[in-house]
C-alpha cells in the first residue's frame, strides 16, 4: 500500500514538473524529486513583508484581543449608543422597508456615475436648495464609495486634468489623506493648522502657509468637525481663509464627512463649503453619509466638482466616468437608494434631522461630562479644549507615553496621538476615562 501511495505521489510530482517544464524530473532520482517538491511548496510571495496595522483600525484589533471586562475602545470613528452599541437610525429602517416593498426594484448595474437622484439630492444637501451653481448646472456629481472613494476619484481626476496637481494638507489631518493622494497621483505638502500649545487653531500660521503655497495649488479643507483635532475655524476665520485661497487662484478640495453630525445643523455645518461656492469660484467636495446616516458599511458618498459653467461641468462629468470605469466600474445600489429615499421624502428627511441632532447632542453631552469629571478630580492642566472642540473627536493633548499607560493600566484604547472618539463614550464609561486621564497626567507631572 505504501509503495502504491509513493508511486502515485511520484507520478503527481512528475506531472507537475512536466507542466512547469522541469527537465527529466522522473529520471533524476529521489533528490531532484524532493527539490521539486520543495519548490512546488514555496510561495511566489515568500518575500512579501508583514505590513504594520493601520494606526486607527489597528486600535480595534488590539481592543478585540483584550479580555478585560473594563476595556474601552475610543479609537474607532463610529457612533455608539449610551449602551455602547452600534446604532441603526429608525429613519434608515423605514427607508429600507419602503425599498423592499417596491416590487419593481432589481439588482442590475447602476450607471457609472451611480444613482442620479441620489447625486442630485446629495449636491443640494451640501450646496443648499437655492445654490446658483446647481441652478446653472455647474456641478458634476458622481456617487462614490463613501468619502474615501470620493477623495480617490478626485485625486485621480486632478492628476490627469489639473495643471498643478499638488495638494496641501493640514497638520495634522485624517491619516488616510496621506495615502490617498500620493497613490492617486497627487503630491502633497503640509500647512500649519493645529496649535498644540493652545489646543486650538493656528490661524495665523495657516494663513502664512497658504500665502506661501504656489498659486493654483490644491488646498484640502475639512468642511466641519476637523479630524482628528475637532478644531474648526470660526465663520470670520473661514472668510479670511477663503480670501487668501481665492487671491492665489488656489483650488479648495473640501472633505465633508460630518455634515449635521458636528453641530446638529445641516446648514451650519455646510457654511464653509457654501461660502466658497457663493463667490463663483470652483472647488471639489467629497461627501460621506457614513456618520450622519449611520451607513458605515453601505459605503455611501459622493464627489461634487463645482465648475465655472455648465459646458465645463459636462466635460468634467465625462472624464470622471473614465476614472471610475476601470476602478470599480459601477457603485453599489442599496446604500445610495436608502440615502436618496431619506433626502427625497419630506417626512423621512424631517425625522432624520431629529435623529441627527440627537446624536450630535449626545456627543456634546459627553464633552461636558468628561470636562466636569476632570474638574472634579482636579486633573492638572486646562481642559477647556474638550468643550471648545467639535464633532466626533477630541484631541486630548495626551502624549504617546500617556496613551500607552492608559491602555496598559486602564485598558483604554485610542490612537497614539491622544485622539479619542467622543461617540464611543457613555455616562457609564466617562468616570473610567477620567480616572485614567487623571492618573496619566499626574504620573507624568510627578516624573518632572
Active site residue 435: no
Contact (Cβ atoms closer than 8 angstroms) between residue 366 and residue 373: no
Contact (Cβ atoms closer than 8 angstroms) between residue 134 and residue 179: no
What is the C-alpha end-to-end distance of the chain, expressed in Å?
Answer: 76
Active site residue 291: yes
Single out the residue of 182, 189, 178 nearest to residue 250, CA to CA: 189
Contact (Cβ atoms closer than 8 angstroms) between residue 389 and residue 293: no
One DSSP character per residue, 66-133 reads ---TT-EE--S-S-B-TTS-B---HHHHHHHHHHHH-TT---PPPPTT--HHHHHHHHHHHH-TT-HH
Q: Residue 126 pairs with which residues in a beta bridge?
A: none
Active site residue 345: no
Question: CA–CA separation, 180 vs 178, rounded Å?
Answer: 6
Among 291, 317, 352, 383, which one carries the catalytic annotation?
291
Contact (Cβ atoms closer than 8 angstroms) between residue 419 and residue 218: no
Among 174, 209, 269, 383, which one carries the catalytic annotation?
174
Kindly give the interhelix angle for 430-446 and 400-410, rounded to the nearest 10 degrees. Answer: 130
Question: CA–CA separation, 226 vs 177, rounded Å?
Answer: 13
Among 255, 269, 317, 383, which one carries the catalytic annotation?
255
Single out the residue of 144, 220, 211 nearest to residue 188, CA to CA: 220
For 125-182, list the strands marked E by DSSP. 139-145, 166-171
Report, as residue numbers or ranges, the catalytic residues: 174, 255, 291
Amino acid at each position: 500500500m505504501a509503495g502504491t501511495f509513493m508511486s502515485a505521489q511520484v507520478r503527481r510530482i512528475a506531472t507537475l514538473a512536466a507542466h512547469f517544464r522541469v527537465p527529466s524530473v522522473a529520471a533524476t532520482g529521489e533528490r531532484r524529486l524532493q527539490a521539486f517538491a520543495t519548490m512546488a511548496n514555496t510561495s511566489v510571495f515568500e518575500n512579501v513583508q508583514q505590513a504594520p496595522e493601520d494606526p486607527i483600525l489597528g486600535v480595534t484589533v488590539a481592543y478585540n484581543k483584550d479580555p478585560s471586562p473594563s476595556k474601552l475602545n475610543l479609537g474607532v470613528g463610529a457612533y455608539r449608543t449610551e449602551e455602547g452599541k452600534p446604532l441603526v437610525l429608525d429613519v434608515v429602517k423605514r427607508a429600507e422597508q419602503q425599498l423592499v416593498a417596491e416590487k419593481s426594484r432589481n439588482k442590475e448595474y447602476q450607471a457609472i456615475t451611480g444613482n442620479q437622484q441620489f447625486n442630485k439630492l446629495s449636491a443640494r444637501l451640501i450646496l443648499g436648495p437655492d445654490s446658483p451653481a446647481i441652478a446653472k448646472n455647474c456641478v458634476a456629481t458622481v456617487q462614490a464609495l463613501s468619502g474615501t472613494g470620493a477623495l480617490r476619484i478626485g485625486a485621480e481626476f486632478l492628476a490627469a486634468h489639473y495643471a498643478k496637481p499638488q495638494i496641501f494638507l493640514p497638520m495634522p489631518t485624517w491619516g488616510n489623506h496621506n495615502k490617498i493622494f500620493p497613490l492617486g497621483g497627487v503630491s502633497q505638502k503640509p500647512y500649519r493648522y493645529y496649535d498644540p500649545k493652545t489646543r486650538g487653531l493656528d490661524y495665523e500660521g495657516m494663513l502664512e502657509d497658504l500665502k506661501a503655497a504656489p498659486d493654483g495649488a490644491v488646498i484640502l479643507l475639512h468642511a466641519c468637525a476637523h479630524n482628528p483635532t475637532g478644531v474648526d475655524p470660526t465663520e470670520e476665520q473661514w472668510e479670511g481663509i477663503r480670501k487668501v485661497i481665492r487671491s492665489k487662484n488656489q483650488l479648495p478640495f473640501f472633505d465633508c464627512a460630518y455634515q449635521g453630525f458636528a453641530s446638529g445643523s445641516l446648514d451650519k455645518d455646510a457654511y464653509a463649503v457654501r461660502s466658497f461656492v457663493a463667490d463663483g469660484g470652483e472647488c471639489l467636495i467629497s461627501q460621506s453619509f457614513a456618520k450622519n446616516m449611520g451607513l458605515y458599511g453601505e459605503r455611501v458618498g459622493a464627489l461634487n466638482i463645482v465648475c465655472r459653467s455648465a459646458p465645463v461641468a459636462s466635460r468634467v462629468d465625462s472624464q470622471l466616468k473614465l476614472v471610475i470605469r476601470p476602478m470599480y466600474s459601477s457603485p453599489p445600489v442599496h446604500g445610495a437608494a436608502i440615502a436618496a429615499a431619506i433626502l427625497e421624502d419630506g417626512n423621512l428627511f424631517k425625522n432624520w434631522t431629529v435623529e441627527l441632532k440627537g446624536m450630535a447632542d449626545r456627543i456634546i453631552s459627553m464633552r461636558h461630562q468628561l470636562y466636569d469629571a476632570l474638574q472634579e478630580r482636579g486633573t492638572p492642566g486646562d481642559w477647556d479644549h474638550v468643550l471648545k472642540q467639535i464633532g466626533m473627536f477630541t484631541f486630548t493633548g495626551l502624549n504617546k507615553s500617556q496613551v500607552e499607560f492608559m491602555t496598559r493600566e486602564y485598558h483604554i484604547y485610542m490612537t497614539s496621538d491622544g485622539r479619542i472618539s467622543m461617540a464611543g463614550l457613555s455616562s457609564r464609561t466617562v468616570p473610567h476615562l477620567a480616572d485614567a486621564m487623571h492618573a496619566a497626567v499626574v504620573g507624568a507631572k510627578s516624573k518632572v
